[in-house]
Structure 1
Amino acid sequence: MRFFPPQGLWHHKDFLKFWTGETISAFGSQVTAFALPITAALILHATAIQMGVLSFLAFAPMVFLSLFAGVIVDRFPRRPVLIITSLGQVVSIGTIPFLAFLHLLRLEYLYAIALLSGCLSVFFEIAYQAYLPSLVEHTHLLEGNEKLEMSHACAQIVGPGLAGLVVQWLNAPLAMLIDACSFLVAALFLSRIKKPELRKVPQKTELAVFKEISEGLRSVLHHRVLWSIAACNGTINLFNSAFLSIAVLYIVRDLKIAPVMYGFVLSMGSVGALAGSFLAKRIADRFGVGPTIIVSAFFFGVGSLFLPLAGVSTMMATPFLILSWFVQSLTLIIFNITQVSFRQGLLPEYLQGRLNASMRFLICSTLPIGSILGGAVGEAIGLFPTVILSSIGMLLAFLWVFFSPLSSLREQPVQHGQ
């Protein structure tokens, strides 16, 4: 009796290694995503503006490093980039529990570590998305992205709850040791992949760097659908990062939700991400790639409206937060799987690094801006009004793709020849 279909990525040994390593790393990263702001807010007593600065430094490398990283990723084999950056994260994240153990941890050190970890993440994420099309066949891109996002969804469910328990029983800095270990294990799995990478070797001159950066940007800005996706995603990130920069203060301080319960809220809400990872390919196949992207972006904004409602009623705060995270996690996963697979199938493999870097630059350049604005506005007018403004912004973000040609696109594009 077969438990898995005879075709597909279940029998692709190198993809299974890649998937396993990324799954383990995703679980660890969820712990740090939860424990780092808890460390700043509750242990180091950071203010709203200081929380905004911390988020800003974590996201800033996406602005000043993404385009350059895209050129590097296209010039060199991508798997070594993934291994080196994973090992760098072992040192970076592992420094936090080490400093805490020595009673030397300060907010300034968190700033520096957040910046370094952000730089490593830029190279990893760009190489990660560019590597998949060279690892699996084009016909398996949607399946591959679906499986990877399914792992991320499971990590979003288990990670915050695990981190909440560790923080409650021990402390937030120690919880991040789990993440450091997960990056080490992921690097070991990546090192065991055997499939070689085949790409062109561009001219390695300073002039060629700027030419290649320009080529990547043009591939997005001259494509009506790609830049509408970038604008939509960038708007979501702007207002979502504004909220996330003050989320711990709003939820833990204002709504009086304990860290362990906050972890439970994130875990329960993230069940939506797991559901989305199962449904994304089926929905895209049934309704078409374009409509799936548009509708998922719209309902992501609808889910954000429950965030301010949580501040209206103390009794309903936890259910509203869970509902908001569930809807947003569900729709964001569907949106990401569909639009990333669309991008990967649209342009030739040798451009994937610069395409992903350009999209990441345009999409994520709003993250540090939103983080600073969230902290500053929260400090100026209060946390609750800032949450309301953030929710309205996320709701309107879908208009970029609604007024684009996406509604008429039904099929996954066929990748051009190399």
Structure 2
Amino acid sequence: MTDARRADRVLRIPAFAKYWSAATIGGFGTFVTIVAVQVLVVETLDATPTEVGLINSVQFLPYMLLGLIAGGLVDRWRRKPVLVATAFGRCLLLLTIPLLWVTGMLSLPALAVVLFGFGTLAIFGDAAAQSFLPRLVPRGSLLVANARVDQSLTVAQTSGPVIGGGLVSLVGAPLAVLVDALAYAASGVLVGRIRVSEPKPARTAPRGRLLRSVAEGVRFVYRHRTLAPMAWSTHVWFLGHSILFTVFAPFALRPLGLNPLQFGFVLALAGVGGLVGATLATRIGQRIGAGHTILLGKALIPVAWVMIALAPPSDTAGAVITLTVVGAAQLLHGFSMGVENPNEMGYRQAVTPDALQGRMNATMRSINRSMVVVGALVGGLLADTLGYRPAIWIGLGVFVVSAIVVAASPLRSVRH
């Protein structure tokens, strides 16, 4: 059966079709907001690189505090109500950003409070979303289903930043966040309409039993022959990505001289690359195996950041040359993620029992997001003390370590 026919068969499952639509709409709004928040912090609030790092880290701080507990709780709850409640909650929080701006009360501390609340809801929403998908499609279709979701998200990633950059230029960064708020509201409505039979949750247990349940999930991940190296490699990857993401926005908007629309354009090219990668992910994963595909994705991404580290400023080389170099790098960056992510997600969902899905996902995500907190702070400090380009070289070196972990482990040879 061809990849197109497999994807079409998955979309014929009504529950998955609504889930896919909700994820696509939510992803579109998210990529608009990525541009809006970065421009808001760098230009509207005139933050230093260290302050950019603090703002980037604060929304992921809840993962350090509550991430593992969230996984244990999600495994005791029906996942659909969690998804609906967190979607509407995030909508309301995002609405406070333009409200604070209109009333003249928007500041870095106020934005940090909003993003911390947003991150707290994201812990439960993301853990439930990744654990919900295996209840909507057969396990043999998880690779195709994840690839389909990634394809639509990369379409959103392609168009969202360009539209976000245009909206920021037209109405300002605070008002552009409204798009994401509305997207979360629409996502909550769609998920609420999904018809799915979920098993009756376990009874609420005493605190000690909850902690034992959380520990069971941690042991499952880090004692597993292939999930353990996947987890460690991903943790290192998120550290490098956080360092580079923190540095990239001020580096692109200041030394490289890109305007908000151009910044949105180069981010959109990552979406184009991601779409190509996600489209090929199923075919590549089935041909060379999940492990080799994951390794391929992790090996390509440092190459992309070498290009960014060597990119010339637009005032010396010209805007076209700068956009070409940075855009090509983002294209390769997106391709590597598009190829890797469906294979990684499909494999780890397939080898995890349903009763452990929430704890497995929360364990990985909480440590990953803890690395984001550390990486954002490190990235900002490196940029302030050493400069933007040295910070980028250090970050891409961390990506190399992530690839080495996969290459040196049994994960490299697994198949779906």
TM-score by length of 2: 0.95
How far 1:364 sits from its partner (Å)?
A: 2.5
Say which is worse superposed, 175-184 or 203-212, in terms of deviation. 203-212
How far 1:408 sits from its partner (Å)?
A: 2.6
Task: Render the CA deviation track for 1:177-206: whole Å, top value 9, x for unaligned.
Answer: 000000001100011111121255255111
Partner of 2:324: 319
- For 2:297 and 2:49, locate their aligned partners in 1 and report how far apart those are by CA, in whole Å: 31
Gaps of 5+ in 2: none
- For 1:341 and 1:350, locate their aligned partners in 2 and report how far apart those are by CA, in whole Å: 17
Matched position secondary structure for 1:365: helix
- For 1:213 and 1:38, locate their aligned partners in 2 and report how far apart those are by CA, in whole Å: 38
How far 1:116 sits from its partner (Å)?
A: 0.8
Partner of 1:12: 13
Partner of 2:276: 275
Say which is worse superposed, 330-339 or 202-211, in terms of deviation. 202-211
Counterparts of 1:374-413 in structure 2 under 5 Å? 374-410=379-415, 412=416
Q: Return the letter of the residue paired with 1:195.
A: V
Partner of 2:263: 262
How far 1:63 sits from its partner (Å)?
A: 1.7
Task: Render the CA deviation track for 1:191-249: whole Å, top value 9, x for unaligned.
Answer: 11111212552551111111111000001110131121111111111121112112221
How far 1:406 sits from its partner (Å)?
A: 2.0
8 Å CA contact 2:78–2:201 kept in 1: the answer is no
Partner of 1:91: 92
Aligned mate of 2:375, from 370, 383, 392: 370
1:274–1:310 Cα change, 3 Å: same
How far 1:102 sits from its partner (Å)?
A: 2.0
1:355 aligns with 2:360: yes
Q: Return the letter of the residue paired with 2:382.
A: V
8 Å CA contact 2:266–2:323 kept in 1: the answer is yes
Aligned mate of 2:336, from 297, 310, 331: 331
1:117 aligns with 2:113: no
- For 2:312 and 2:364, locate their aligned partners in 1 and report how far apart those are by CA, in whole Å: 35
- For 1:84 and 1:44, locate their aligned partners in 2 and report how far apart those are by CA, in whole Å: 31
- For 2:297 and 2:247, locate their aligned partners in 1 and report how far apart those are by CA, in whole Å: 25
Matched position secondary structure for 1:198: coil
Q: Return the letter of the residue paired with 1:287.
A: I
Matched position secondary structure for 2:59: helix
1:232–1:5 Cα change, 3 Å: closer
- For 1:221 and 1:127, locate their aligned partners in 2 and report how far apart those are by CA, in whole Å: 21
8 Å CA contact 2:222–2:231 kept in 1: the answer is no
Counterparts of 1:220-259 in structure 2 under 5 Å? 220-259=221-260
8 Å CA contact 1:133–1:344 kept in 2: the answer is yes
- For 1:295 and 1:178, locate their aligned partners in 2 and report how far apart those are by CA, in whole Å: 35
Partner of 2:145: 144
Matched position secondary structure for 1:8: helix
Partner of 2:162: 161
Q: What percent of counterpart residues are identical?
A: 30
How far 1:314 sits from its partner (Å)?
A: 3.4
Partner of 1:180: 181
Structure 1: which 4+ aligned runs deviate by more than 4 Å?
4-7
8 Å CA contact 1:251–1:262 kept in 2: the answer is yes
Matched position secondary structure for 2:254: helix
1:344 aligns with 2:345: no
8 Å CA contact 2:63–2:367 kept in 1: the answer is no
8 Å CA contact 1:161–1:260 kept in 2: the answer is yes
- For 1:293 and 1:346, locate their aligned partners in 2 and report how far apart those are by CA, in whole Å: 16
- Aligned residue pairs, count: 408
Q: Return the letter of the residue paired with 1:97.
A: P
CA RMSD of aligned residues (A): 1.5
Matched position secondary structure for 2:160: helix
How far 1:268 sits from its partner (Å)?
A: 2.2
8 Å CA contact 2:229–2:406 kept in 1: the answer is yes
- For 1:106 and 1:408, locate their aligned partners in 2 and report how far apart those are by CA, in whole Å: 49
Q: Return the letter of the residue paired with 1:353.
A: G
